[in-house]
Amino acid sequence: MSIDVRPAQDFDRFLATDQLVWFGEETDSDAEHVRLGLPEDQRFAADLPDGPTDTHSGVYGVRPMEMSLPGGRVVPIAGLTWVGVHPDCRRRGVLTAMMTDHLARTHDAGLAVSALHASEAAIYGRYGYGNAVLTLQVELGRGTTFTAPHLEDDAARTTTHLVTMSGPGVTERMRACQLGSAPDHPGTIVGSPDYFSLMALEAPEQLRDKERRRVLLARRDGRDVGFVGLRREHKWSKARPSGTVTVGTLCGDPAARLALARRVVDLDLMGTTRLENLGVDDPVLDWVGGPRGTGSLETWDSTWVRLVDLAHAWSLRTYEDDCDVVVELADRFAPWNAGRWRLACSGGTGTATRTDSPADLSLDVDVLGAGYLGRGIGSRLRAGLVQEHRPGAYAELARAMRTLVAPEPSIGF
Ligand SMILES: CC(C)(COP(=O)(O)OP(=O)(O)OC[C@H]1O[C@@H](n2cnc3c(N)ncnc32)[C@H](O)[C@@H]1OP(=O)(O)O)[C@@H](O)C(=O)NCCC(=O)NCCS
């Protein structure tokens, strides 16, 4: 069946599809969300021959974003988002047609990587995305103590200031902080200025009884060194204040994060602080003495990464160990990647070249996406997800790709 995928021309139809798929309350600000969320030329629509005419059969969009890689390079990526298929059209190949279109367009645009947050874990592996980053949600009680003796001097010189995200200049300062800390925190994804404006856009009907998004900015020596977004919720229990403050990504250098973390566990009228987006090696866990120093800890998948152009992507990051392996790569949706590659890393630098030598390993491209930001992928051999033809070859590859500290989760996009 032919499915027509093309740039979306009809804004109302695109919006109607989105509203149907995501079934929230329809508000006047929905259109503004699409406008700020997706550049006009990055909205795409798919139609089945017998599909609906008031909506599309499916839509997707791409956010231009930047991502930091092991070694510190910050590179442009395609941030896949707004993916939705009309409920009457599901399981007829619309998503597959849109993904094929997206990967071809991304490749043509010269981008090496596509990344996303998945609504469900089972959807994107088949298209070559690997789960590259895990996130932790950690609850801490009021007044939790953080121990970090070698950060105290810098933390003492750091001040924190509560502002409103939609206030003048705030999102620009947040974005500058994120770009500044990204090289030291591989996996950080930085959105465009419009993406930050979108985060700050909160129509009255979306707020209802919520407070506006606030931001704590950290400053040292006269400049911004970090931030965290937060929102407080009132709760009273047996006449005692026991609200919850929900905290987004902590951003900044280690001492800034420490100062911010201390401030968010010491807000008046709050009983619990929920940190929603920590990396699995986040220092918060060390500062509280491990998982049992928290009130609760849960984990799930954050960023999924897809190597759209293997050779280009391989050369962009650095590696912490040497390797020299020949990989038979399966890639159904980006056939230009498929086939035999020699993946070599030496002195931190990686090169991927075509070869006819016998393969040491056979694997799917999602495995390389999963390890691209430094998350350990060594267990996949035991899990039976890769095939090794030369003993030790997979360990060599996995060691080279892994980083000392697990990658940073990204803010949902
Ligand atoms: C998820 C969604 C986009 C899938 O679209 P679709 O057009 O039905 O997908 P396709 O028909 O192209 O399916 C391709 C394959 O993925 C599988 N698949 C699709 N959605 C899946 C899901 N949620 N869980 C498991 N498998 C799924 C299909 O079974 C099919 O498998 P096959 O190739 O082995 O036959 C669609 O169900 C949807 O819009 N859901 C609500 C919004 C959403 O979750 N969007 C994703 C945002 S990240």
Q: What is the pLDDT of residue 377?
A: 98
Classify residue 318 by its DSSP letter: B
The tokens describing 382, both together, are: 């035991």
Count other Cβ atoms within 10 Å, centred on residue 132.
28
In CATH terms, is domain 135-301 a member of 3.40.630.30?
yes
- d(CA 403, CA 396) in angstroms, rounded, equals 13
Which residue ranges make up each domain of the chain?
Answer: 4-111, 135-301, 309-401
Which mutation among 22, 91, 100, 127 tests ligand 1's pocket best, with the greatest number of atoms within 8 A of CB? Answer: 91
Beta bridge partners of 273: 140, 245
* pLDDT exceeds 80 at position 242: yes
Q: What length is written for the chain?
A: 413
Q: What is the pLDDT of residue 1?
A: 74
Q: What is the chain's mean pLDDT, rounded?
A: 97
Q: What share of the chain is helix, strand, coil (3-state, %, to 5)?
A: 30, 35, 35
* Same fold yes or no, 4-111 and 309-401: no
Q: Using a cut of 0.95, tell me whether the model's pTM lies above it.
A: yes
Q: For 247-270, how does the pLDDT look when each residue is reduced to its tens digit (9 = 90+)? A: 999 999 999 999 999 999 999 999
In CATH terms, is domain 4-111 a member of 3.20.20.140?
no
- d(CA 102, CA 344) in angstroms, rounded, equals 28
What percentage of the chain exceeds 90 in pLDDT?
96
- List C-alpha distances in Å: 123 to 57, 84, 280: 18, 12, 23
Beta bridge partners of 78: 64, 114
The tokens describing 178, both together, are: 């994120």
- Give me the catalytic one of 124, 319, 333, 394: 124
Q: Give the pocket of ligand 1 (CB within 6 Å).
A: 21, 83-85, 90-96, 118-120, 122-123, 126
* pLDDT exceeds 90 at position 160: yes
| Residue of the CA atom closest to atom 5 of ligand 1 | 95
Q: For 31-78, how does the pLDDT look when each residue is reduced to its tens digit (9 = 90+)? A: 999 999 999 999 999 999 999 999 999 999 999 999 999 999 999 999
309-401: CATH number: 3.30.1050.10
- d(CA 144, CA 261) in angstroms, rounded, equals 9
| Residue of the CA atom closest to atom 4 of ligand 1 | 95
Q: What is the pLDDT of residue 206?
A: 81
Count other Cβ atoms within 10 Å, centred on residue 405.
16
| Closest atom, ligand 1, to C-alpha of 120 | 23
- d(CA 131, CA 186) in angstroms, rounded, equals 15
Q: For 169-193, how does the pLDDT look when each residue is reduced to its tens digit (9 = 90+)? A: 999 999 999 999 999 999 999 999 9
Q: For 328-350, how does the pLDDT look when each residue is reduced to its tens digit (9 = 90+)? A: 999 999 999 999 999 999 999 99
Q: Region 233-255: what's the mean pLDDT?
A: 95
Q: What is the pLDDT of residue 28?
A: 86
Radius of gyration over every alpha carbon of the chain, rounded to an integer in angstroms: 22
Q: What is the pLDDT of residue 250?
A: 95
413 annotated active-site: yes
Distance 91 CA to ligand 1 centre (A): 6
The tokens describing 383, both together, are: 């899990």
Distance 102 CA to ligand 1 centre (A): 15
Q: Which of residues 97 and 202 earns the better pLDDT score?
A: 97
